[in-house]
Amino acid sequence: MWVLILGLVLFLGAHSVRIVAPAWRDAQIAERPGAFKGIYTLVSLVGLVLIIWGFGLARPETAFVFTPPDWGVHAASLLVILGFIGIAAAYLPAGRIKAWLKHPMVVGVALWALGHLLANGDLASLLLFGAFLLWAVVDRIAAGRRPDPVPQAGPVTNDLLAIVVGAAVGLVFALWLHAPLIGVAPFG
């Protein structure tokens, strides 16, 4: 379990610098943009690898804390696909989805984490997805307090692109990549 926890600390810690020390982060980016981005990327990547590896190690050994509801798997499928659409909207040209969500990446991560919490009741899953959900909520609150520019709504075609790309990537991951990478086949 310690590998998973270390991965979460590294990954979410790197992604929380803007929440807990925004002035320091901005100063580092201004003084050494390449170094900051390089260290941020390296720490995030190491954290992500440790999360995946640690989850694979911890999941078979952890106890179940609760039994997920029967409808949890179906709700998870919908929430995770919506999460992928939010993440796609964050990186594609702005449409109404991006403008409405304001921070679609964070909302997408929250939906992804909530969906997984509804379908999994083991301790490793609660730790992993609970940590991501908590981080997303805290980050969204912090983002609402920053003077970040609100994305302007773009054409509906950009929303359609986000929906198609997000749903396609989500389905490809669920059907072909989830089992080999995570060790669990979401659809049996």
- Band (pLDDT 50/70/90 cuts) for residue 148 is confident
Residue 124 tokens, joined = 């490793």
Same domain assignment for residues 150 and 78: yes
Same domain assignment for residues 24 and 101: no
For 5-28, how does the pLDDT look when each residue is reduced to its tens digit (9 = 90+)? 999 999 999 999 999 999 999 999
For 17-60, how does the pLDDT look when each residue is reduced to its tens digit (9 = 90+)? 999 999 999 999 999 999 999 999 999 999 999 999 999 999 88
Global confidence as pTM: 0.94
Which of 14, 45, 61 represents a domain boundary (last residue)?
61
Same domain assignment for residues 177 and 136: yes
The yes-or-no verdict on residue 182 having pLDDT over 90 is: no
Same domain assignment for residues 24 and 97: no
Q: Which helix (H) or strand (E) holds 90?
A: helix 72-91
Same domain assignment for residues 187 and 146: yes
- Give the span between the Cα atoms of 55 and 66, in whole angstroms: 18
- Band (pLDDT 50/70/90 cuts) for residue 149 is confident
- Give the span between the Cα atoms of 74 and 79, in whole angstroms: 9
Same domain assignment for residues 110 and 153: yes
Closest CA to 136 of 6, 16, 9, 7: 16
Identity (one letter) of the amino acid at 70? D
User: Widest CA span of the chain, in angstroms?
Assistant: 52
Domain of residue 146 covers 63-188
Which of 61, 76, 100 represents a domain boundary (last residue)?
61
Q: For the chain, how many structural domains are there in total?
A: 2
How much is the pLDDT for 140? 96
Same domain assignment for residues 129 and 172: yes
Same domain assignment for residues 80 and 37: no
More confident position, 185 or 81: 81
Same domain assignment for residues 109 and 139: yes
Same domain assignment for residues 100 and 125: yes
Same domain assignment for residues 104 and 82: yes
Same domain assignment for residues 157 and 85: yes
